[in-house]
Amino acid sequence: MSFSTPAEIVAQAERAALNKISLSFPRTLVAAMLAGIYIAMGGLLSLLIGYGFPEWTAGNPGLQKLLSGCMFPLGLILVVLAGAELFTGNNAVLIPGFMKKKYGIMPILKNWTIVYIGNFIGAIFFVYIMVWCTGIVDADPWKSAIVQIAQAKVDMSGWVVFLKGIGANWLVCLAVWLGFSAHSTAGKMMGLWFPVMCFVAIGYEHSIANMFFIPLGMLQGAAISWSDFILANLIPATFGNIVGGALFVGCIYSYLYTKR
């Protein structure tokens, strides 16, 4: 077959997880920083293209969502094909081995913690050094767009952010699953692209992406404090992402396609 079956995908995830939890702390942290940078790259491209044609999208809001969604998958494509450690992807990938009792909960929590911190460092580095210091979004329509995006993300209720976080990582981890399924580079890119495009166009909340969007909005003048960012968005989005990835992808597919 030109693609892996669902059972083979679960087995691949299990093997990948064993490699992930065996990485040393420095390697895991550096790989996680790269993933934070790659997701920020996708976020920047999504912002520039999605909001770069205001005369086209003013009366066509769906077009803006489509343009942003089409660009953002660059980040996950780089993470998977170039190799990096992404917290949201690991929410699902580390579950099959755990359900087969290959390792306990502590290696999972250790990996998630290190990778989350590394993703944050990488995203903030890219925001400040590669975007803020270079002035890429200092002019409109991008400056006003990123301020509005950041403000909208912290103005939602925590419950809504949590639910949108579930949706985001449900789709992101399905993208990772499709990436495991494909056997060619083009197939992997296509499998990664569609679900990620979908979650961005819908407007779900991805915690690692928000490590790019909200701090950049803050630097561009959004009236948002660090506590607003962390409490109103990052924490509920993170827990939603864990549920969406670990439960709705990792647990369910392990239950369905792992031999008892």
> Which 3-state string (H, E, C) describes 127-145?
HHHHHHCCCCCCCCCHHHH
Sort 259 into a burial class: Cβ within 10 Å, 0-12 / 13-18 / 19+.
Answer: exposed
Predicted pLDDT of residue 260 = 62
Distance set, CA 249 to CA 9, 128, 244 (Å): 11, 34, 7
Terminal-residue alpha carbon distance, the chain: 25
How is domain 6-257 classified at the architecture level of CATH?
Up-down Bundle (1.20)
How far is Cα of residue 11 from the mean position of the Cα atoms in its chain? 23
Q: Is 156 helix (H, G, I), strand (E, B) or coil?
A: coil
236 preceded by a cis bond (ω within 30 of 0): no
Give the pLDDT mean for 17-34: 97
Q: Which two tokens stand for residue 161?
A: 């952010």
- Annotated domain spans of the chain: 6-257
Q: Tell me: the pLDDT tens digits for 216-241?
A: 999 999 999 999 999 999 999 999 99
pLDDT at 24 over 70: yes
Residues 230 and 147: their CA atoms lie apart, in Å, by 17
Give the pLDDT mean for 154-172: 98
Give the pLDDT mean for 187-196: 97
pLDDT at 140 over 60: yes
The answer to whether 50 and 201 are in contact (CB under 8 A) is: no
Contacts of 45 (CB under 8 A, 6+ apart): 71, 72, 74
Confidence of residue 121 (pLDDT cuts 50, 70, 90): very high
Predicted pLDDT of residue 2 = 82
Predicted pLDDT of residue 59 = 86
Neighbours of 225 (CB within 10 A): 12
Q: Tell me: the pLDDT tens digits for 45-87?
A: 999 999 999 999 888 889 999 999 999 999 999 999 999 999 9
Confidence of residue 32 (pLDDT cuts 50, 70, 90): very high
The answer to whether 72 and 154 are in contact (CB under 8 A) is: no
pLDDT at 1 over 80: no
